Amino acid sequence: MNTGPIAKEGAIGPVAVQADQDASDASAILLAGLRAVKPSLVLLFTDDEARLRELATALRSGLPDGCLIAGCSSAGEIGPCGYASQSVVAIGFPEAEFRAQALQLSNLSGLPVSEWMTALRGMQKSFAAKADRELFGLLLVDGMAGQEDALVATIDAALPAVPTLGGSAGDGLNFNKTFLLLGDEVVSNAALFVMVETTLAVREVTFAHFSPTTIRAVVTAAIPDKRRILELNAEPAAEEYARIIGIAPDQLTPTEFARHPLLLRMGRRHHVRAISAITEDGGLSLMSAIDTGTVLTLGRADDMTRGFADALDGLPREPLMVLGFDCILRRLALERAGLSATMSDLFNRYRVAGFNTYGEQHSGMHVNQTFVGLAFMAPDSDTKAGNPDAA
């Protein structure tokens, strides 16, 4: 695997190694690339808890004091060569352009919303508004805790002026247990919120490759706190879902879920309520909130690559890097369509790095089967000169 070490001092971008590489060699390669960046923040993504912990410890001993290390387990990685599996991706953010602080939001299952809001507002006070700086939040969350919707709403209410996006930690296609990393500590049932200040220009990039069909289904029985649909149209959920997409129930797989998403309309937009598995009682386990009485629309896949390129070509300047959170179900759909290599080429062209998620967070919402990213660009001349009226 091309490790893609960063040779230019102060550059921004990923370094990657294969997971089966010797641990000491892997940490040496990662450190060589990261030291060139002189980072204030390092994000680390890989699919294994033990590897996450081991490499974090190795990086800590080799990086400058004060460098913040955060990350999570993944369902796949996006590195210098595009999509990767069983690899390690480390992204360094140079101290010359970035300042960051992190907050662990513990006890997701208990939803201590007031406690979280107080802590988040306290963190924001240490970031004074500056005309030549942009402020944003990164959110990494336990992808199996099932609390993203409430968590994202809490952050949006506590920090309405801070654009926040991120991804839910993954566990390959196992959907068993996911992990978060902050410093040397690896935890579950938690989220990490990283507040970042930068001198670079930042733009959000989102892309979803689906559109609604005319086929609708009503959730007639559900267990909301478990994100589980028991019945669709008063029929067992998995059987009815298979019927409306036109296949036999025993042919339902994660790839079919990715090809035929269920959409929830909110305002003028449709958002995926992605299916992760069939339950033992014939229900459908979802990756986002659901309730009885919800009307869902069957989605169809559109062009999965061209719209992505159009979104990035619409940026005011070529990105130095794009930090990307890409749903694992989107990746599965691309693989089924034979387009994963094409997507990897696009990731490489636009310098995208990040990981495959169990869900994505942006604009105060938790969504699925979507690419969510932050494009970092050189500041425009007016902003760099300190013009407060600059766009």
Note the pLDDT of residue 382: 53
Name the one residue in this structure whose structure tokens are 């081991």: 54
Quick one: DSSP state of residue 293? T
Q: Quick one: average pLDDT of 233-261?
A: 94
Q: Quick one: average pLDDT of 104-108?
A: 96
Note the pLDDT of residue 11: 67
Contacts by 122-129 with C-beta closer than 8 Å and gap 24+?
123/193, 123/195, 124/159, 124/162, 124/195, 126/101, 127/99, 127/101, 127/195, 127/197
Q: Is the Cβ–Cβ distance between 69 and 34 less than 8 Å?
A: no
Q: Using CA atoms, how far apart are residues 139 and 149, in angstroms rounded to an integer?
A: 12
Q: Name, in order, each residue with C-beta under 8 angstroms of 65's C-beta and a sequence gap of 6 or more.
A: none
Mean pLDDT lowest for which of 52-66, 84-98, 111-125?
52-66
Note the pLDDT of residue 1: 43
Q: Name, in order, each residue with C-beta under 8 angstroms of 304's C-beta and a sequence gap of 6 or more.
A: 209, 330, 333, 334, 337, 339, 343
Q: How confident is the model at residue 6 (pLDDT cuts 50, 70, 90)?
A: very low
Q: Quick one: average pLDDT of 140-153?
A: 94
Note the pLDDT of residue 266: 83
- The domain locations on the chain are 13-207+305-383, 210-301
Q: Which of 195-204, 269-278, 302-311 has the highest mean predicted lDDT (pLDDT)?
A: 195-204
Q: Using CA atoms, how far apart are residues 179 and 191, in angstroms rounded to an integer?
A: 9
Phi, psi of 288 (to 5 degrees): -145, 170
pLDDT tops 80 at residue 3: no
- Give this prediction's pTM: 0.86
